[in-house]
């Protein structure tokens, strides 16, 4: 029998390269970002932020601002006080990224804290009003960070629940006894995400219900967290965030602004729209705080590690114990019998830092991968060979097996593509005219983490498909990989599939953090598709006139717009659907991954992600790995640093879409170069204020800074981690890059830079080229 429907485009399989299905919408400007949403008769909000880092607001003279035409109202601690309820920090099982509560009292706890919200008929009037607030402070001397008087240090293990510093054996004894040692200090700077889409929030109330348009990595969390802050039923809140102009962790937890805009909209009984400035984005959202490391590595003469001791310090805010603690990774990358580690937080008068792309691994693998290079140089062993001698199938702390680990395959593939064997190990030996050439490499690793997720898939009689899940596309290609999964499982072309995500009314999915989205969400979408397949197959094997009468339904698959049997029998899709249902076939699936306790599912509905994976499992350890090779050129006279090429090879399980995956990894490596050479938020240590809060002075690479960037995929088939074998890779690419660049700079110049970023003034001591 002929199908009555036109056959759609060929259904792609998981692993096929397809361009982003949301790409056209984005490049044509049709994708509607949160602040693009037209609001009926909106009020514009502009924030005023504090000029001091610590102290009290003595007085706010609002008269000049209130006298401006168009200014409607001004929120300050004097009239907001108490309207927003205190909630727990995200990393303590709550939703907020900082427990510092602006407008809750006259206290100022960090520079750039929100001190007033000016509400006006126009953006211009609100901006003018914010500038005309005359605020008098009683300042106190702030602690800016490390080494500041008044900063206090606490050990993570003493203040963070369930936190342990990884350790095994007798590290101090083994270090003392070992013949070859590296004992150094390293540091990474403050950094800010600077997503191109600014921090925006629009709120509108209608019949006691609140709609929030805000770029978010966690719509279900935002809904539930805001409900807690406002003391209302979460079902009264609808969060809309279909497109996100970058996030990188800055939109995973609730910031202080959202509740204030919701309160303003309620009081004025009109929609309120806030678009914070680029500069305010440095202080009203989270950031990557500076870290310091004392790193010790010891080996025998063959390069076998004998001891690894990693002590790390991180800056956090006065009230919050936010920690990244990348020793979970740095102590487990290589075989080593004696390991000790300790993470401490240094409380200073700063906003609470938060997740920023690969939060633990970017700062904590910098000392490890630098020290490995230093050890290789001390032993006169090739850095790749040193890593091979310390490769392992089991992590060294508890001896748990890696589900899969292709680190050395990554090194071999990337080294080949890079031409590593042509390297003269002597620093300063490779030159091209005025340029000193250096080649360096480093390992990368990132935990494979999954959380409970849910999805609804609806197959319509016409053969079109709708996939719904409250996941997020933060540039990771979520729309595309979700569509690809449904296409693969239902045998239907991408042009017939629509994906709805980024909306809190949809079935909940985890926060788009920890690179879990593709693994968590594609697996649950596949599960829903399987329910549909089973229903169609079960209907196909019974009743009159079917070609599959009496077949085993578990052997029937949906492929190429048909239901197919192992014996070559086939039924057009629309007929198979019609046998199973008079209308659409809908499936709702819930998935709880291995290692997640059963209550994880309930928590998901409350907007909490219970991610399992990495080094936090009882029975195994699961990470994605890679190797990155960098060429730098340092000009002999000016010490200008260029990176003409970078090659990375990565093993991250099943790659769902090589196109979006390559973009993620390439973007990660570029950010890694940025992290090594460009980025740092400068802080005035007397005032504890940031000084370069715009994209003119916060250095990031431009196209001219990046030349060739090559991504190589190393195939991996790991069905232990999850049914589809997906590891996730959003954060993998930018781990280790900083060390690879630093190692290349050392090779070019003989100067070892242990404090990032590496700017040319740090290379002035390099020997000149004669």
Residues with catalytic function: 731
Q: Which two tokens stand for residue 554?
A: 């578990």
Residue at shortest CB range from ligand MOS: 249
Pick 671 or 690: Cβ nearer ligand MOS: 671
Q: What is the 3 state secondary structure string of 6-28? A: CCCCCCCCCCCCCCCCCHHHHHC
Q: What's the min distance (Å) between Cβ of 730 and ligand MOS?
A: 7
b/e burial code for range 199-213 (CB count within 10 A of at least 16 → b): bbbbbbbeeeebbbb
Pick 216 or 283: Cβ nearer ligand MOS: 216
Q: What's the min distance (Å) between Cβ of 217 and ligand MOS?
A: 6
Pick 341 or 358: Cβ nearer ligand MOS: 358
**Residue 279 neighbours by CB distance under 10 Å:** 16
Pick 306 or 449: Cβ nearer ligand MOS: 449
Q: What's the min distance (Å) between Cβ of 255 and ligand MOS?
A: 14
Gyration radius from the chain CA atoms = 27
Pick 248 or 287: Cβ nearer ligand MOS: 248
Q: Which residue has the tokens 């300790």?
A: 342
What's the Cα-to-Cα distance from 323 to each of 166, 222, 516, rounded to whole Å? 15, 21, 20
- DSSP H/E element including 489: helix 478-490
Q: What's the min distance (Å) between Cβ of 741 and ligand MOS?
A: 21
Q: Which strands make up the sheet holding 623-635, listed edge to edge? A: 430-432, 435-447, 623-635, 641-651, 708-713
Pick 148 or 449: Cβ nearer ligand MOS: 449
b/e burial code for range 547-586 (CB count within 10 A of at least 16 → b): bbeebebeebebbebbbbbeeeebbbbbbbbebbbeeebb
Q: What's the min distance (Å) between Cβ of 251 and ligand MOS?
A: 8
Q: Which residue has the tokens 């001004």?
A: 74
CA 582 to the chain's CA centroid: 43
Q: What's the min distance (Å) between Cβ of 461 and ligand MOS?
A: 39
Q: CA angle, corner 631, sides to 625 and 632, nearest 5?
A: 125
Q: Which strands make up the sheet holding 55-61, listed edge to edge? A: 107-108, 55-61, 134-139
Pick 216 or 327: Cβ nearer ligand MOS: 216
Q: What's the min distance (Å) between Cβ of 511 and ligand MOS?
A: 8
Pick 196 or 704: Cβ nearer ligand MOS: 196
Q: What's the min distance (Å) between Cβ of 343 and ligand MOS?
A: 18
Cα–Cα dist 133/77, whole Å: 14
CA 222 to the chain's CA centroid: 17
Q: What's the min distance (Å) between Cβ of 396 and ligand MOS?
A: 25
Three-class DSSP category at 764: coil
* φ, ψ (nearest 5 deg) of residue 650: -135, 140
Q: Which residues bind ligand MOS (CB under 6 A)?
A: 217, 248-249, 252, 355-357, 359, 513-514
Q: What's the min distance (Å) between Cβ of 450 and ligand MOS?
A: 13
**Alpha-carbon dihedral sign for residues 117, 120, 124, 130:** negative
Query: Do residues 252 and 218 touch, judged by C-beta distance below 8 A?
Result: yes
Q: Which two tokens stand for residue 499?
A: 């994906």
Query: Do residues 507 and 469 touch, judged by C-beta distance below 8 A?
Result: yes
What's the Cα-to-Cα distance from 11 to each of 1, 16, 560, rounded to whole Å? 21, 10, 6
Cα–Cα dist 28/25, whole Å: 5
Pick 303 or 510: Cβ nearer ligand MOS: 510
Pick 195 or 242: Cβ nearer ligand MOS: 195
Q: For strands 209-213 and 237-240, give the pairing.
A: parallel
Minimal CA–CA distance to 396: which of 335, 341, 311? 335
């Amino acid at each position: 029998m002929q199908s009555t429907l036109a056959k759609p485009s060929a259904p792609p399989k998981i692993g096929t390269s397809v361009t982003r299905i949301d790409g056209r919408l984005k490049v044509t400007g049709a994708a509607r970002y949160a602040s693009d949403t037209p609001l009926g008769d909106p009020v514009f909000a502009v924030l005023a932020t504090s000029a001091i880092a610590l102290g009290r607001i003595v007085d706010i003279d609002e008269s000049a601002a209130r006298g401006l035409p168009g200014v409607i109202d001004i929120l300050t601690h004097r009239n907001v006080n108490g309207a927003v309820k205190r909630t727990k920090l995200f990393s303590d099982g709550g939703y907020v990224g900082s427990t510092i509560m602006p407008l809750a009292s006259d206290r100022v706890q960090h520079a750039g804290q929100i001190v007033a919200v000016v509400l006006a008929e126009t953006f211009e009037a609100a901006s003018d009003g914010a500038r005309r607030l005359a605020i008098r402070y009683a300042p106190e001397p702030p602690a800016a960070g490390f080494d500041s008087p008044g900063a206090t240090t606490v050990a993570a293990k003493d203040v963070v629940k369930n936190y342990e510093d990884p350790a095994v054996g007798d590290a101090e004894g083994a270090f003392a006894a070992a013949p070859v040692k590296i004992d150094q200090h390293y540091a990474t700077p403050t950094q800010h995400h600077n997503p191109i889409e600014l921090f925006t929030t629009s709120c509108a109330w209608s019949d006691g219900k609140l709609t929030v348009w805000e770029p978010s990595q966690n719509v279900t969390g935002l809904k539930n967290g805001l409900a807690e802050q406002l003391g209302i039923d979460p079902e009264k809140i609808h969060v809309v965030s279909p497109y996100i102009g970058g996030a990188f962790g800055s939109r995973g937890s609730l910031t202080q602004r959202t509740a204030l805009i919701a309160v303003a909209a309620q009081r004025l009984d009109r929609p309120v729209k806030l678009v914070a400035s680029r500069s305010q984005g440095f202080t009203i959202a989270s950031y990557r705080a500076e870290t310091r490391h004392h790193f010790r590595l010891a080996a025998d003469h063959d390069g076998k590690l004998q001891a690894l001791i990693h002590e790390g310090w991180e800056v956090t805010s006065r009230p919050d114990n936010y920690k990244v603690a990348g020793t979970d990774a740095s102590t487990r990358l290589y075989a080593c019998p004696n390991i000790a580690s300790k993470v401490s937080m240094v409380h200073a008068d700063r906003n609470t830092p938060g997740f920023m792309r690969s939060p633990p691994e970017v700062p904590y693998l910098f000392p490890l991968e630098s020290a490995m290079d230093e050890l290789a140089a001390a032993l006169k062993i090739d850095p790749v060979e040193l890593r091979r001698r310390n490769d392992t199938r089991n992590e060294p702390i508890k001896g748990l097996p890696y589900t899969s680990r292709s680190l050395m395959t990554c090194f071999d593939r990337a080294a080949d593509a890079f031409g590593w064997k042509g390297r003269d190990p002597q620093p300063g030996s490779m030159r091209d005219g005025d340029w000193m050439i250096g080649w360096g490499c480093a390992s990368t690793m990132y935990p494979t983490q999954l959380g409970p997720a849910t999805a609804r898939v609806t197959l319509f009689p016409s053969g079109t498909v709708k996939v719904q899940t409250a996941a997020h596309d933060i540039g990771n290609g979520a729309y595309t990989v979700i569509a690809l999964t449904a296409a693969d499982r239902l045998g239907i072309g991408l042009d017939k599939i629509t994906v709805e995500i980024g909306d809190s009314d949809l079935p909940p999915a985890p926060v788009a953090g920890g690179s879990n989205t593709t693994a968590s969400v594609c697996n649950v979408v596949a599960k829903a598709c399987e329910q549909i397949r089973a229903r169609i197959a079960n209907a196909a094997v019974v009743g009159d006139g079917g070609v599959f009468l009496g077949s085993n339904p578990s052997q029937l698959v949906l492929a190429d717009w048909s239901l197919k049997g192992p014996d070559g029998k086939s039924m057009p899709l629309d007929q198979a659907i019609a046998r199973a249902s008079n209308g659409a076939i809908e499936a709702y699936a819930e998935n709880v991954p291995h290692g997640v306790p059963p209550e994880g599912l309930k928590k998901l509905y409350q907007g909490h992600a219970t991610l399992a994976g990495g080094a936090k499992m009882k029975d195994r350890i699961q990470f994605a790995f890679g190797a990155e090779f960098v060429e730098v050129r340092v000009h002999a006279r000016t010490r200008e640093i260029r990176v003409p090429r970078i090659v990375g090879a990565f093993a991250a399980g099943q790659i769902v879409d090589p196109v979006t995956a390559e973009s993620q990894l390439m973007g990660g490596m570029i950010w890694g170069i940025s992290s090594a050479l460009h980025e740092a938020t400068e802080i005035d240590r007397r005032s504890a204020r940031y000084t370069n809060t715009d994209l003119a002075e916060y250095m990031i690479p431009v196209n001219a800074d990046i030349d060739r960037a090559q991504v190589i995929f190393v195939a991996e088939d790991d069905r232990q981690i999850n049914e589809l074998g997906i590891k996730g890779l959003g954060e993998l690419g930018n781990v280790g890059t900083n060390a690879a660049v630093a190692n290349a700079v050392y090779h070019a110049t003989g100067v070892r830079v242990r404090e990032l970023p590496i700017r040319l003034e740090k290379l002035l001591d390099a020997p000149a080229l004669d």
